[in-house]
Amino acid sequence: MKDALVHLLLTQPLPDAIDQQLEANYVVHRLYQQTDPNRLFDEFGPLIQGVVTGGAKGLDNATMDRLPALKIIAISGIGTDAVDLVHAARRNIAVTTTPGVLTDDVADMAFGLLIATLRRMSEAEAVLRAGRWPQTQLPLAHKVTGIKLGIIGMGQVGTAIARRAEAFRMEISYHSRTPRPALPWRFVEDLHALAREVDVLMLAASADDGKAIVTASVLDALGAEGFFINIARGKLVDEAALLDALKHQRIAGAGLDVFVNEPHVPEAFFTLPQVTLQPHRASATQQTRLEMGEIVLRNLAACFSGETPPDKV
Ligand code: 8YV
């Protein structure tokens, strides 16, 4: 039964089946459909008790503070870097995520980008689609099987990527805040050393402390033969340095699902044939988004029946 007292704010669309369940149980306000968000906040801000948002979108403090009755920020995603957890805790607002269910999709996308980039698939497809195959001599690509892969971040996603890499007989090493001796892969304490020795540097770290770790000097260490793949967060990379390294062929190529200022991507990327680009799609499958949505529903239900949401961070 619809509890007319509970108002929710959605910052981005959810799968239809999830949206329908929200509609059936709550009063739903859709921020992404508003031409004048201020009106929504003025009229309903004091009533809104729950926000459903994405990992990259999160909720900024100014918006949080326009919602005085807020009890829960339910993230449909695993990243909490776009929510100020300290600020939320101070206001006694629960923050929840959707752990576990998107790991495989993100690792699959990481591999898709790796293969597409090393094999120059975007560039070759663009030639074919433009009808230029007959007159084009494409450069040879880079072999994928057996390469040296360096993974930054060895959480669930990093581990899933490494498991896939084993099937491709890659030589796997990783850098992370803490070594994980139970895992079979080689830990490298110095990120520059890791970048120097691998063919592909794969970024799979969380962005909780918000600062760029893949800097100009890390890209220089990766070098002109090295490729960079990012399925984590744009802000973990010095994007200007990445563009510069690509433009001047100081690295060989990049596969990117994430950017600093999404959904806006520096146009300079579009003209680089050695780059594969995706608009933050790593978890964007019907199956996974549905599972993520179910977890959001269970966290909201727990919160509004006075229980601790099961996926509270
Ligand atoms: C989603 C993400 O694309 O989990 C995350 O933190 O960034 C992605 O899986 C995002 O949450 C969209 O809902």
Q: 234: domain range? A: 103-277
- Ligand 1 center to 80 CA (angstroms): 10
CB-based contacts of 253: which residues, under 8 Å, 6+ apart? 117, 118, 120, 227, 228, 246, 274, 275, 276
Instruction: Name which of 252, 241, 247, 243 is nearest 218 in CA terms.
Output: 241
Summarised one tens digit per residue, pLDDT across range 134-188 is 999 999 999 999 999 999 999 999 999 999 999 999 999 999 999 999 999 999 9
Q: pLDDT-derived band of residue 2, with 50, 70 and 90 as boundaries?
A: low
**What percentage of the chain has pLDDT greater than the value 70?**
99
Any domain includes 1: no
Q: What is the mean pLDDT of the chain?
A: 97
Same domain membership, residue 169 and residue 145 = yes
With a 6 Å cutoff on the Cβ, whether 283 touches ligand 1 is yes
Residues 118 and 258 in one domain: yes
Domain membership of residue 310 (yes or no) is no
Same domain, 256 and 241: yes
Query: 283 CA distance to ligand 1 centroid (A)?
Result: 6
Closest ligand 1 atom to Cα of 280: 3
Instruction: Read off the pLDDT of each residue in 223-237 and give the average, rounded to a whole number.
Output: 98
- At position 188, the amino acid (one-letter code) is V
The span from the CA of 164 to the CA of 170, in Å, is 9
Characterize 214-240 residue by residue with b for buried, 16 or more Cβ atoms within 10 angstroms of its Cβ, and e for exposed.
bbeebbbbbeeebbbbbbbbbbbbbbe
Atom from ligand 1 closest to the CA of residue 53: 13
88 and 129 co-located in one domain: no
Rounded to the nearest angstrom, the distance between the alpha carbon of 57 and the centre of ligand 1 is 8
Q: Whose CA is nearest to atom 4 of ligand 1?
A: 77
Q: Distances from the Cα of 81 to the Cαs of 28, 100, 236, in angstroms?
A: 25, 17, 11
- pLDDT above 60: residue 252: yes
The yes-or-no verdict on residue 251 having pLDDT over 50 is: yes
> Would you say the CB of residue 153 lies under 6 angstroms from ligand 1?
no
Question: What pLDDT digit, counting tens, does each position of 27-67 carry?
Answer: 999 999 999 999 999 999 999 999 999 999 999 999 999 99
Which residues, at least 6 apart from 266, have a Cβ–Cβ distance to it below 8 Å?
239, 243, 259
How far, in whole angstroms, is CA 105 from its chain's centroid? 11
Residue of 283, 290, 313 best suited for mutating to test ligand 1, as the one with most atoms within 8 Å of CB: 283
Same domain, residue pair 95 and 147: no
Closest atom, ligand 1, to C-alpha of 79:
6
Residue 22 belongs to some domain of the structure: yes
Assess whether 112 and 251 both reside in one domain. yes
In a domain, 313, yes or no: no
- E strand or H helix at 229, and its extent? strand 227-230
Q: How many domains does the chain have?
A: 2
Domain CATH code at residue 253? 3.40.50.720
Same domain, 116 and 85: no
